[in-house]
Structure 1
Amino acid sequence: MVAYWIARAKINEPISYKKYMDVAGNIVETYGG
């Protein structure tokens, strides 16, 4: 099953967001995203 997620976000704390992205990218990649 294919799914797409499109979002628009305003980042208020770029340093905190980068920490999140460092972790989230690996999790998404683990599941084939």
Structure 2
Amino acid sequence: MDITKTTYFLCLEYRDSSVRVTVSEKNNPVVPVPV
């Protein structure tokens, strides 16, 4: 799994809705790195 692509996806989700990011983190424990 590409970490860069995953991080970018999480960033978009975070900007779209914080709640969606929370759910994503529960399903996929990936720490979002601020770009």
Work out whether the TM-score is over 0.5: no
Q: TM-score range by the shorter chain?
A: 0.3 to 0.5
TM-score of the superposition, structure 1-length normalised?
Answer: 0.42
Structure holding more helix per residue: 2
